[in-house]
Copies of this chain bind each other. A is one copy, B any other.
Amino acid sequence: MSLLVVGSVAFDHVRTPHGEAAEILGGAATYFSVAASWFTPVRIVAVVGEDFGDQHLQVFRDRGIDTAGLERTDGRTFRWRAEYTDDMNEARTLETQLNVFETFAPKIPAAYLESECVFLANIDPVLQLRVRQQLPKAQLVGLDSMNYWITGKLDELKKTLATVHVLVINEGEAQMLSGRSNLKQAAAVIRELGPEILVIKRGRYGASLFTRDSIFFAPAYPLETVRDPTGAGDTFAGGFMGHLAKTSDFSDGNLRRAVICGSVMASFAVEEFGLERLLRLSAPEITARFREFKNLTHFDV
């Protein structure tokens, strides 16, 4: 199935205990599309500025990502500067320049209107809903959001949530959105808002899948060194949605495999700065790590 992602493309400046990288390609839609491109053809809708060069566009093209929806406009590209301290769990944002992203109004190219799988990365829920309404044929629509919208535009977010199939969200945000600290209670409240399929990302503790039929837990891959956690959540979503679009199978068993695909891709992403590791991957590496995940949780009854 075709997979469309709508979200941000940015230039990041990131410092972690393992190094620093400036002006590197980032943004939710970037991490998502590069990760998903290892599974299925991807289309991207985003906005960039005049400083976005052909060498940046080439990164997407080299991964076979359709960039007809990547709008270039007057001004500078979205910029984000952050640092991670020793425990690597949370980024401390040092500077955000929205630039061209401030007035982002996603334009869906005509050729994309038939998209069967869609991911609405973390942007204003009003924009997410507008995109959703242009894609009535989508069979699987996933969404991400964040505390900023949960606090500031809860009603709008709830309206949008009622129109999607999948929510992929952080544990803290799930607690905030549901008003429940208990994970199972939070999942029940959120699934009532619309999304039948809920994936709660728990950082170094892995991810949990809640469906009508069951609950599934995946661990995070145990890495000795996490160099840069930036984009791990969006990469997870890319692997998850990419696997589902590739297989066109939304059964419980395949949703579980999709969670593992997301976990595999996120584990690669954080091994190096920015997109470095995701761009240097190979299909056999992905398959091998998928099997390693099996071994991490397998036991005989």
Contacts and interface: CB of A to CB of B under 8 A. Distances in A.
Contacts of A205: 202, 205-206
Contacts of A206: 205, 217
Interface stretch (A155-163, A223-231, A276-284): A223-231
B181 A216 contact: no
A217 B297 contact: yes
Contacts of A64: none
A182 to B, nearest CB: 6
Interface string A214-241: 1111110011111000000000000000
Interface string A190-204: 000000000000101
A28 B87 CA distance: 30
Contact of A253 (B184, B225, B297, B299): B299
Given A297-B297, A301-B291, A184 B217 contact: no
Contacts of A218: 297
A153 interface: no
A86 interface: yes
A272 to B, nearest CB: 16
A225 B182 contact: yes
Contacts of A296: 215-217
Nearest to A295: B214
A256 interface: yes
B215 A222 contact: yes
What 9 A-B pairs are tightest by C-beta distance, nearest first? A217-B219, A256-B299, A297-B297, A205-B205, A184-B222, A184-B224, A87-B181, A294-B301, A217-B296
